[in-house]
């Protein structure tokens, strides 16, 4: 066997033995709310090194039979293993919240991986369970690199929130309670903290839970919430090159509607693999045609052929300069299924565009645009023209 053949065989064997290494992991899916019409929502608690209010919070949840999700730091697991065990023993869910609570966008990918791994080990040592597949970034700080690194570490979902109670500021129990009751929607995720600084949280829980149930809500864990999306509800996973404007156009809704439904702080900042809720009542995107740019094509010509506008195609394909497209480029044609039925005409000796247009019941200008003709008086026998429908 030649060295080259041996190398190929080894690569194939490694791919079979270690399939995870053969392909790059997907980025972690960013979730701030789940698409559902069911009245379900999740209470979540960030658990840093301060365990000041954990016992009272656990008691309030137990008194009303509520299961929640706790995002635990490695320092918390290392310093308070008995408390973490109590959280798990009472049936609550655990997620990874980093080891030392740094801003993830300010550290290297190697440091991120270390933070995640050390936390997972600390939680495993304390409870016998791993915190995967859920991660919450400290301070809600993330970018595309963070999502990719977290996904590669095995955390399939990065959990943000719909409702920030700002309880860590020491606001009153009434303020914490009302923040949730006044802003709850189906699929919402509420953020609270267990530290001593969140002094109003323990006393807020009884009234909050009673109020939510009185409004018909069921309180669930994050894993239960993610499993609550019924068929027919609309969500969208952001793709590279997407903008909120493009997504809004696809679904026939407004950018502010998507921003509000997903608690997006900056409408210009979305990430590939981010899971977006499309507001209730939105139709699914129409099937879109695709078109491969040919030499001589312009967006104006393509738009005319498909009965759409240059602006619509530019927005749907994130094109910065509508005058700059390339042969071989594949364009999505918004709102289109199949292109209109296209007729062609082979120019005969003596033909003029006026005569051809009259024959097909169209206009000279329409043929000029559809065929990118620079001089309407100059056509050649044998030339094949597209006749717009």
370 is written with which tokens?
A: 């559809």
- How many other C-beta atoms are found inside a 10 Å radius of the C-beta of residue 94? 23
Contact 158, 150 (CB under 8 A): yes
Catalytic residue among 92, 97, 193, 242: 193
C-alpha distances out from residue 288 to 284, 305, 313, 330, Å: 11, 14, 11, 12
Measured distance CA(158)–CA(104) in Å, rounded: 13
In DSSP terms, 333 is beta-bridged to 289
226 is written with which tokens?
A: 């993610």
9 is written with which tokens?
A: 């065989």
Comparing CA positions, the residue from 217, 222, 206, 214 lying closest to residue 57 is 206
- Widest Cα–Cα separation across the chain: 93
Measured distance CA(157)–CA(355) in Å, rounded: 62
C-alpha distances out from residue 385 to 63, 326, 351, Å: 77, 21, 12
Backbone angles phi, psi at 173, to 5 degrees: -60, -35
Reply yes or no on whether 193 is catalytic. yes
Strands 157-159 and 134-135: parallel
Reply yes or no on whether 114 is catalytic. no
Catalytic residue among 46, 50, 167, 297: 46
Residues known to be catalytic: 46, 193
């Amino acid at each position: 066997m030649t060295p080259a053949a041996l190398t190929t065989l080894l690569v194939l064997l490694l791919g079979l033995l270690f399939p995870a290494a053969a392909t790059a992991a997907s980025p972690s899916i960013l979730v701030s709310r789940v698409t559902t019409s069911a009245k379900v929502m999740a209470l979540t608690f960030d658990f840093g090194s301060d365990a000041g209010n954990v016992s009272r919070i656990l008691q309030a949840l137990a008194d009303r039979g509520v299961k929640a999700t706790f995002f635990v730091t490695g320092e918390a697991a290392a310093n308070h293993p008995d408390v973490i065990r109590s959280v798990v023993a009472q049936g609550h869910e655990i997620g990874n919240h980093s080891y030392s609570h740094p801003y993830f966008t300010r550290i290297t990918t190697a440091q991120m991986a270390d933070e995640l791994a050390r936390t997972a080990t600390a939680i495993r040592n304390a409870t016998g369970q791993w915190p995967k597949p859920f991660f919450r970034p400290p301070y809600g700080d993330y970018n595309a690199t963070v999502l990719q690194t977290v996904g590669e570490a095995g955390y399939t979902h990065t959990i943000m929130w719909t409702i920030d109670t700002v309880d860590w500021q020491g606001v009153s129990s009434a303020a914490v309670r009302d923040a949730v009751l006044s802003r709850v929607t189906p699929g919402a995720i509420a953020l609270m903290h267990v530290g001593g600084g969140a002094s109003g949280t323990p006393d807020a829980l009884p009234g909050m839970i009673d109020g939510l149930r009185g409004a018909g809500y069921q309180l669930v864990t994050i894993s239960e919430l993610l499993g609550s999306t019924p068929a027919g509800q609309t969500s969208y996973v952001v793709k590279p090159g997407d903008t909120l404007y493009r997504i809004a156009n696809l679904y026939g809704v407004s950018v502010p509607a998507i921003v509000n439904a997903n608690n997006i702080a900056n409408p210009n900042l979305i990430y590939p693999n981010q899971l977006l809720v499309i507001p209730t009542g939105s139709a699914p995107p129409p099937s879109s045609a695709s078109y491969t740019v040919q030499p001589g094509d312009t967006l104006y010509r393509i738009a005319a052929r498909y009965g759409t506008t240059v602006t619509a195609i530019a927005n749907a394909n994130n094109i910065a300069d509508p005058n700059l497209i390339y042969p071989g480029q594949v364009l999505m044609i918004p709102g289109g299924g199949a292109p209109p039925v296209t007729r062609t005409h082979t120019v005969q000796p003596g033909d003029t565009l006026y005569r051809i247009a009259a024959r097909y019941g169209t206009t000279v200008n329409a043929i000029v645009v559809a065929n990118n003709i620079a001089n309407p008086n100059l056509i050649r026998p044998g030339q094949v023209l597209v006749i717009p429908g």
